[in-house]
């Protein structure tokens, strides 16, 4: 008797900066979500699609759970909370190097209410000793009835296969929702804008990045090259100067690194031109938030 096809939706939930985007890229096998060491890097829900002969797993990466300080923050937390609804499995990602927070206790309680299967992934195990891991597992186990607990390092890839096996075992029978070739639902234009924002997060000081948004104004496909014209929005004139840098050096550095990643994604030569514009307090502007693709 032929094995039946199994498919389903998996939400990756967790506090800010626990490694959700790194895990998403690991299961997708390529960059679909940007990564930085700064919290609240991910702003939108991002789909990554894993396929093998008998399974299709649709992963949703979400913004990290945090206390919002503006309208954009409220939208991000709303996205993360809604991700638990209408999924088959919730993956709760936690940091092996950190103590359990009250917010995580609340997240576990919310997951319990959702009725979905839940798998606990203890990430960043490459940063702790094995004997330090057992108490972490025990502490989290006492808070909820997890279908499985998977120690893992999304950065090194150790444990990712074990997580995928656990997910496959617990998926319901279902149809193929996406074509085999598709690894994300994001358009190339959206990924390109996020790659540019990632490089800004990498290079800039802590007070600047959260006030930054990137909009691709034009993406022109030519036979031998793709031309991209993008605008970086920031909230203060002083930030504009920092982004551009002395003699434009910072902007050139961001553009060079971003262009390299975009060329890998498109498998094609890229011309990238960046401008910087100031939009005061845009993170509290519903019009601008919607313009950047968020649903309020």
pLDDT for 187 equals 72
3 state DSSP class of 245: coil
Instruction: Please state whether beta strands 55-61 and 6-14 pair in parallel, antiparallel, or not at all (unpaired).
Output: parallel
Q: What is the pTM of this model?
A: 0.63
State how far the alpha carbon of 77 is from the alpha carbons of 16, 63, 161, 168, in Å. Answer: 11, 7, 29, 28
**Superfamily grouping for domain 6-170:** P-loop containing nucleotide triphosphate hydrolases (3.40.50.300)
In what helix (H) or strand (E) does residue 46 lie, and over which residues does it extend? strand 46-51
How confident is the model at residue 38, as a pLDDT? 44
Report d(CA 248, CA 286) in Å as an integer.
31
Q: Which two tokens stand for residue 245?
A: 């840098």
What pLDDT sits at residue 205? 66
Boundaries of every domain in the chain: 6-170, 188-291
Please give the sequence-ordered ranges of beta strands (E in DSSP) within 152-286, or none if there are none. 213-221, 225-234, 269-278
Looking at domain 188-291, does it have CATH number 3.30.300.20?
yes
CA 167 to chain CA centroid, nearest Å: 19
pLDDT at 184: 72
Give per-residue pLDDT as tens, 42-94: 444 557 888 888 999 988 866 555 454 455 445 445 555 565 667 889 999 99
pLDDT of 182: 76
Provide, for the chain, the percentages of residues in helix, strand and coil under a 3-state DSSP scheme, each rounded to the nearest 5.
40, 25, 35
**pLDDT tens string for the chain (296 positions)?**
557 899 998 988 888 778 887 888 788 776 665 544 444 444 445 578 888 889 999 888 665 554 544 554 454 455 555 656 678 899 999 999 999 988 788 788 777 777 778 999 999 999 999 889 999 999 999 988 899 999 999 989 999 999 999 999 999 999 988 888 777 766 777 888 888 988 888 888 665 656 788 888 888 988 899 999 999 988 888 889 889 999 999 999 999 999 998 898 888 899 999 999 888 766 676 666 655 555 44
Of 207, 196, 209, whose CA–CA distance to 251 is shortest? 196
Q: What is the pLDDT of residue 266?
A: 83
Cα–Cα dist 186/214, whole Å: 15
CA 23 to centroid of chain Cα atoms = 8
Among 97, 145, 92, 153, CA closest to 120:
92
> How far is 137 from 130, CA to CA, in rounded Å?
11
């Amino acid at each position: 008797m032929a094995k039946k096809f199994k498919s389903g939706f998996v939400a990756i939930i967790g506090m800010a900066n626990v490694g959700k985007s790194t895990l998403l890229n690991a299961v997708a096998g390529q960059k679909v979500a940007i990564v930085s060491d700064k919290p609240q890097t991910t702003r939108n829900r991002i789909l990554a699609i894993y396929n093998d002969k008998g399974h299709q797993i649709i992963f949703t990466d979400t913004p990290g759970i945090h206390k919002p300080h503006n309208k954009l923050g409220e939208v991000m937390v709303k996205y993360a909370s809604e991700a638990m609804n209408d999924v088959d499995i919730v993956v709760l990602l936690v940091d092996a190097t950190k103590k359990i927070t009250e917010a995580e206790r609340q997240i576990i309680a919310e997951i319990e209410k959702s009725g979905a299967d839940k798998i606990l992934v203890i990430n960043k195990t490459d940063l702790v000793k094995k004997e330090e891991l057992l108490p972490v597992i025990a502490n989290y186990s006492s808070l909820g009835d997890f279908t499985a607990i998977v120690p893992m390092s999304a950065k090194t890839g150790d444990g990712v296969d074990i997580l995928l096996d656990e997910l496959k075992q617990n998926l319901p029978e279902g149809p193929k929702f996406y074509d085999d070739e598709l690894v994300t639902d994001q358009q190339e234009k959206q990924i390109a804008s996020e790659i540019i924002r990632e490089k800004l997060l990498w290079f800039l000081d802590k007070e600047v990045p959260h006030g930054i948004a990137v909009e691709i104004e034009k993406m022109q496909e030519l036979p031998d090259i793709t031309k991209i014209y993008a605008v970086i929005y920031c909230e203060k004139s002083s930030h504009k100067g920092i982004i551009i840098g002395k003699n434009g050096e910072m902007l050139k550095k961001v553009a060079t690194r971003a262009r390299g990643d975009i060329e890998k994604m498109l498998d094609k030569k890229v011309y990238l031109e960046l401008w910087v514009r100031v939009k005061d307090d845009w993170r509290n502007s519903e019009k601008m938030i919607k313009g950047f693709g968020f649903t309020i």
